[in-house]
Structure 1
Amino acid sequence: MFSVHLSEIPRTISFRTALMSLALFGFSFLGLFGYIYWQTAGYLTAETDVALHRQIDNRSAQPADLRLQEIRKHTGQDIEGRLPHSLFDAQGKLIAGAIGQLPAFSGYDKGNEFVWDKGHGHHRPVRFMVHRLEDGQTLLAAQDIHDIREFDELLVNALISGGSLLLVVGLLGAVLLGYSARRRLDTLSRSIERIVKGELTERLPTRGNGDDIDRIATVVNQMLDELERLMSEVKGVCDDIAHDLRTPLTRLLAGLERAQRRNLREEQYAAAIDAAIEDARGLLSTFRALLRISEIEASARRSNFARIDLNRICEDAAEFFEPLAEEKAIRLQFLPSAAPCLLFGDAQLLFDATCNLLDNAIKFSPDGSLVSLQVISDLTRAGIRVSDNGPGIPEPERDAVFRRLYRSESSRHTAGNGLGLSMVWAVAKLHEMTVQVRDAQPGCQIELVGLSMEIELLKRA
């Protein structure tokens, strides 16, 4: 288990994202609660004012004697002072009622508030309304709003406690998210460090939940798979170069040294020079093929992609190799598709790949056998299939044959440089096609298949 310092957690993206979410949710919570509080408090105040207006209207409509009598009676009944009424003369002196002094107010028939001292240390918040009567007296109707104040206080306390709980839970969640993210990043970092130190078989761990880090780790792992394959291929190429090119270079050097030591006639010198030139040309041909494969793998030819028909390319390739097949009494069979087989690609590269497949098929097939070139075309796929009656490729070697300069022991003494199928693999990769090697029973069957033009257009759209 990795140790994560608390000072490292605030630097994680998960922690900062959680804090941003907490802040956004907190502001939303405050806004919603503030709106509810404002609406509730406004509603209760409005209802209180409506009740006070109703009481003022009822008292104002009563005759003066009855009004005075009713106010005295109401004062006697309202012992707790929940709805106090008072009547003052024109000079503001109390005539009758529970509130003995007219409080300061902002205007007649408007809601006002003050703290009413009932005596004996009892103070109650009161909302009141003052009305000027026709005879010059002043009528005051009030209502105890202690319950409303308590309700307001309850709402505010709920806001504070809920906000505090939200803040604590949110911060705790942010810390846990940051801690988890930091641990996961530490795991990824250690895996990357091992890869940097040379352990190319190491892969970034994934959880399989498809989150952002998993997606990045999956892409990086695919890159590492390709890098490992390329490194293995480079190592194999170096080994194959040391193994396969050593013989022609040794032969070239030995021939030149013999020609230097011996007293040869002019025609013998010419023959030695011709042999050296032939060996040098073979080496140059090998390196040109290597450079071309590198060019293809670097996608330098992708700018030449266009809409092409595999039927025409394969027909040209079959016609080109027909004389070579006739020399070995091999029947070269061309099977086009019923409809045009269209895809996006480089016509010259696909022609070269088809020629390489046909060249191998004819080279390794016995005299008098059959070589078949078939165009594959359906709703989703487009490609070619080459079949022969040769010795085939053993299953353990079906991946290795696409490695540069690789040659099996059975084909090591056959003419060639071991780059034909490597070039086919490079062309297939450039065109996002797959290469599959199967047993033709007898012989070998190789398929080069990609997406049809219709599927490619949908994919690009």
Structure 2
Amino acid sequence: MVLGIPSVTALTRILSTTAFKLAAIYLTSFTALSVFLFIFISQNTDDLMNKQVVQTVDAEIQGLAEQYAQNGINGLVVGVERRVRSPNSNLYLILDYSGNVITGNIAYLPEKVLSVSDGRIQFVSYTPLGFVETDQNKAKAIVRIFELPGNFKLLVGRDLEDQVHLKSLLGDALTLWLVGMVVLAGITWFFLNRRILKRIDNLSMSSRLIMEGDLAGRLDVTGNGDEFDRLASNLNVMLDRIEELMKGLKEVSDNIAHDLKTPLTRMRGRVEAALRQDLSENEGRECLEETLVETDELINTFNALLRIARVEAGSTGAELQSIKLGNIVKDVCELYEPVAEDDGVEFSVSLEDEPVIEGDRELLAQALANLIENALKYGRPTEENVKPTIKVVLSGNDEQAILSIEDNGAGIAAADRERVCNRFVRLDSSRHAPGSGLGLSLIKAVVTLHHGELQLTSAGTADDSESDKQSGLRARIVLPLNKGQRGEGEGNEAWDKARKKNATS
């Protein structure tokens, strides 16, 4: 019993594999279908051939009946003898009133068959003329037996050897087919077990290593382009994203530790100085107010970090609905026009299109407000005699909505445009103004949530080909239109077909 345990375990593993189950289902299904088709074809073939045999027998009976009507029993005997001498599958037998054979090509027929002489169709076993009566020499036939005047009996029938042979061929074909199914099922099991399940095991092993902490590990892609390659590719993209988020988390932690240390140290120093000195009531109030301002700035920084994390994780509860982007632009710009005017900034808004997108109104308004605030704070011209300007332009094409915010300030060098969207990144030219370096990070997260793209280019050229000559910054939010406006709905397709048909007619 102990020696048999490994074999039993191996057999159990084989029987429990998906490959064996699929092969068994495949074999069972095709076997059942094959048997059904065999029975269906066999029965219908038998019915068709039996009808043809009966028609042949009836034609022979009609011919013999005419001879009997013209020449009596003697003419009938002559006609049967002439037909017997012709080699074919037809059967004939004439018996006298005593049951003696007058003529025919049947050596033996059971008595109970001869007793039924009303002309009905009978399926019988008989022994052909010239053969000994044995089970091996028996054959199948369809016959009709008629009783004639004078107690004579006439049998007319046809041998069914062709049908029996056809059934035998169908049976052999079914056997070969079933054997082929078994072989094919075995090949299928071998292929699934050796190829597909092996790849699944490799994926499981790689996944286990990744779960153990090896975030740099990736699933193998063979390059065949099959389902497993597509699955592995998608999982690798997901792992890249997870690794990127983990790196981002580490960077955020480092940035928080670095960038928040200075204001916290400054607050601690101010409080310690206040404790060491004998401050008046006004001086103490002023110290508390300054501390409160820096505390609010820290709280705002943490709120911004939390909001960015929620947007990136998609846990803001945002519901993407069909909205007109132009309405958001109008509402936000109306709020900032007085602010720009007070700061001496020339503020202009141009709505060249009315795109409809799938988005969250609050998040998009927050992103646009952040871009306008950045333009107001950092988009000041370097020349003193140049008036600062901010241009907000909403346009679009057949596939996208494009929201552009442009200023005539110092701009951002091409080498810094990707880095400036990271958390807590502040360029040297912007450190004179208050801020936390989280505005563009939040904007990028909102745009990514809407399946869009944030583009930072130079405002001086249309294609950003002269990025070294800074003449302002152009921030573009590119968002996809909803399906209806892109013309992907069923109504649009029907209308396009109608227009094409009308154009060709």
Query: Could you tell me the TM-score, scaled by structure 2's length?
Result: 0.76
Q: Paired residue for 2:122, among 108, 111, 114? A: 111
Partner of 1:125: 139
Q: Is the 8 A contact 1:12 1:181 kept in 2?
A: no
Partner of 1:302: 318
Structure 1: give runs of 5+ residues left out of the alignment.
none
For 2:375, the aligned partner's letter is: A
Q: Paired residue for 1:254, among 269, 289, 311? A: 269
Please report how far the alpha carbon of residue 323 of structure 1 lies from its aligned counterpart in structure 2 after TM superposition: 4.0
Partner of 1:231: 246
Q: Is the 8 A contact 2:140 2:160 kept in 1?
A: yes
Q: Is the 8 A contact 1:200 1:228 kept in 2?
A: yes
For 1:119, the aligned partner's letter is: V
The structure-2 alpha-carbon separation of the partners of 1:157 and 1:392, relative to structure 1 and needing over 3 Å to count, comes to same
Please show how residues 28-177 of structure 1 align to structure 2 within 5 Å. Answer: 28-60=33-65, 61-62=67-68, 63-71=72-80, 77=85, 83-103=90-110, 104-105=112-113, 107-108=116-117, 109=119, 110-116=121-127, 118-119=131-132, 123-127=137-141, 128-177=143-192
Superposed CA deviations along residues 413-459 of structure 1, whole A, max 9, x for unmatched, are 64211111122123223433321122334133211121335656866
The structure-2 alpha-carbon separation of the partners of 1:294 and 1:73, relative to structure 1 and needing over 3 Å to count, comes to closer
Please show how residues 344-383 of structure 1 align to structure 2 within 5 Å. Answer: 344-367=358-381, 368=386, 369-383=388-402
Superposed CA deviations along residues 212-235 of structure 1, whole A, max 9, x for unmatched, are 555544544443333233222211
The structure-2 alpha-carbon separation of the partners of 1:82 and 1:451, relative to structure 1 and needing over 3 Å to count, comes to closer
Please give the alpha-carbon distance, in whole angstroms, between the structure 2 residues aligned to 1:14 and 1:457. 45
Superposed CA deviations along residues 394-417 of structure 1, whole A, max 9, x for unmatched, are 444433322332334554564211
Please give the alpha-carbon distance, in whole angstroms, between the structure 1 residues aligned to 2:177 and 2:20. 22
Please report how far the alpha carbon of residue 278 of structure 1 lies from its aligned counterpart in structure 2 after TM superposition: 2.6
Please give the alpha-carbon distance, in whole angstroms, between the structure 2 residues aligned to 1:73 and 1:343. 94
The structure-2 alpha-carbon separation of the partners of 1:148 and 1:342, relative to structure 1 and needing over 3 Å to count, comes to closer
Please give the alpha-carbon distance, in whole angstroms, between the structure 2 residues aligned to 1:89 and 1:302. 103
- Structure scoring higher RCO (CA < 8 A, sep ≥ 6) equals 1
SS of the residue 2:106 aligns to: coil
Identity percentage over the alignment? 27
Superposed CA deviations along residues 120-158 of structure 1, whole A, max 9, x for unmatched, are 867140424322112211122344433432232122111
Q: Paired residue for 1:434, among 433, 453, 472? A: 453
Deviates more, 1:16-25 or 1:172-181: 16-25
SS of the residue 1:448 aligns to: strand
Please report how far the alpha carbon of residue 305 of structure 1 lies from its aligned counterpart in structure 2 after TM superposition: 5.2
Query: Could you tell me the TM-score, scaled by structure 1's length?
Result: 0.83
SS of the residue 1:131 aligns to: strand
Please report how far the alpha carbon of residue 7 of structure 1 lies from its aligned counterpart in structure 2 after TM superposition: 6.3
Aligned length: 451
Please show how residues 270-349 of structure 1 align to structure 2 within 5 Å. Answer: 270-297=285-312, 298-303=314-319, 307-308=323-324, 309-323=327-341, 325-326=343-344, 331-349=345-363
Q: Paired residue for 1:384, among 384, 403, 408? A: 403
Q: Is the 8 A contact 2:109 2:125 kept in 1?
A: no
Q: Paired residue for 2:419, among 400, 406, 413? A: 400
Aligned Cα root-mean-square deviation (Å): 3.5
SS of the residue 1:302 aligns to: coil
Structure 2: give runs of 5+ residues left out of the alignment.
1-9, 460-468, 491-505
Superposed CA deviations along residues 82-118 of structure 1, whole A, max 9, x for unmatched, are 5453322233233344435542328332233214172
Please give the alpha-carbon distance, in whole angstroms, between the structure 2 residues aligned to 1:261 and 1:152. 114
Partner of 2:209: 194
Asked whether 1:449 is paired with 2:478, we answer yes
Superposed CA deviations along residues 322-364 of structure 1, whole A, max 9, x for unmatched, are 14642xxxx4342412344444544443333222212222323
The structure-2 alpha-carbon separation of the partners of 1:68 and 1:360, relative to structure 1 and needing over 3 Å to count, comes to closer
Please report how far the alpha carbon of residue 34 of structure 1 lies from its aligned counterpart in structure 2 after TM superposition: 2.7
